[in-house]
Structure 1
Amino acid sequence: MLHTRTHLAIATVIGAIALPTFASEPIIGLITKTETNPFFVKMKEGATAEAKAKGAKLLSAAGKTDGDNAGQVTAIENMIAAGAKTILITPSDSKAIVPSIKKARDKGVLVIALDSPTEPIDATDALFATDNYKAGILIGEYAKASLGGKPVKIATLDLFPGHPVGAQRHNGFLQGFGLKSFDAKNNELAKPAEVVCMADSFGDQAKGQTAMENCLQKNPDINLVYTINEPAAAGAFNALKKAGKEKGVMVVSVDGGCQGIKDVAAGKIAATSQQYPLKMAAMGVAAGVEYAKTGKKPSGYTDTGVTLIAAKPAAGVDSKDTKTGMDLCWGNK
């Protein structure tokens, strides 16, 4: 979305004594997709805590909405001007942000992608993120084991076309269920015959509900729903409940936010793959401080972990219960 304002909040993390040298107080920027999504709130919390522990100065910014590439471009420019030597970013547009990242790197700024890769992935120095393909595989395996060979008619409530994370979760889910799929490097969405409806939810609850309502109109016999995240899953459940079908349809998802784990405990979501935004950001800040001190740069992909959380275990599938999920979740408990 063009012509949106970026809200650049500068938070100075003060140690016992703030020394006026770059080495003692490296400046690190964190740019998230939005300020309000609990996932990114938790990410900022992790970055803030690690910066304080390491004696760094943290600059934080976010786009006005998910997809606000222009806002992220402005944030990068502002952070370079403010002296940031490391920028951590969750790219809203994996392709459009690349020229701005190149400009930063050309000036000697370390750029680390968090959560979502750029396209191409090596446009940043490193990526700290959930293995989203694995996250999809875990919920696919769980659904297959739980349904015990029952024929399925699947609805997938996806993110939006072309997004790497959306494709990885979608295709991983199908792979885990044992259906024809693409590998983790393919940004297309596989559609085997068992998938009777595919719709874009943009990770939004209201859009997820509308998407599910439309899918049910096209095929009222849907009995398995994959969703890109837990807000979309909540929307799907609302649509199913409205249609009187909530007890006969399994919903699986990815995220691990506190509300999502509550929805698993309540039976609205059968299982979710939990990811760890606080850890991503903390690792990013630590890498930025190391770069400031020694010039050492991280490279490639670092897996920040994923855990299957389910209210009911499924035979042959490793999962943790909702108590464990609540202990590790993000957002309001």
Structure 2
Amino acid sequence: MQPIISVSNLSKTYASGFQALKRIDLSIRKGEIFALLGPNGAGKTTLISIICGIVNASEGSVTVDGHDIRGDYRAARSLIGLVPQELTTDAFETVWATVSFSRGLFGKPKNPAYIEKVLRDLSLWEKRNSRIIQLSGGMKRRVLIAKALSHEPRVLFLDEPTAGVDVELRRDMWKLVRSLSASGVTIILTTHYIDEAEEMADRIGVINGGQIMLVEEKAELMRKLGKKQLTLQLEAPLASVPAALSQYRLELANDNSELIYTYDAEREKSSSLVALLNDLSEAGIRFKDLHTTQSSLEDIFVSLVHRKQEENA
């Protein structure tokens, strides 16, 4: 699929000497929801700021739907909507005025019907004549999203869009994201709520120390890196794991009344589970119930970041 954003050999070094990005290569597909994950200071916001034309790169190139962000910046920027982390709005403007003004900045003709739709989708219609200073923090966040959508962008960046907001806004936000994605808008989001990325994203990118660690289809990432656990609730507690079962990764839990088997679903076939159950029976171990769990995207993310930190230590 033709990428809508292409990042090649992108680096950023600040005057202080700090290298925020190190030779980033990244392609974002048209119409996908791409989640960019990374710890604080990993380079997420710097990367987004360069693509959006807010920060200049030290080297490398970025194109948006074929338009170079430097040589053809007007066309590139017109395709992008950005919802930043910080609340930056004109406190004394009305909601309607500030969203309409944002549309005009991109040379778009007036379209009251479209502005109304955006405000209604974000539950802002009743506040359209209110001044920004009169709004709650959650409502101000909604206004930022409305401003980003005002010029009908084909790419929408959401930089920590639901940080510190209420549950209602989070639900409205993700409902809107799904709707935009269905209409063909490409969504790139950063979030510390990894459960959101797990639910919403088509692909996951992990950045740490200014470098892209991986980019993977979400389902494939969880299949390849996820671990599974089989938990057996024992009929009677065990003093220890029998030596005859040492070939399995087993541990006791919950006052030795549970036996937990951790395994790699990608490498280990179902026959290994059958063999384990047979060996348990031969060892005289009886259980009354069992269930399996799989590691979440958050587990995988934390593991990847820790691994990178250990490599750099």
TM-score, L = length of structure 2: 0.33
- Higher Cα radius of gyration: 2
Q: Which has the higher strand share?
A: 2
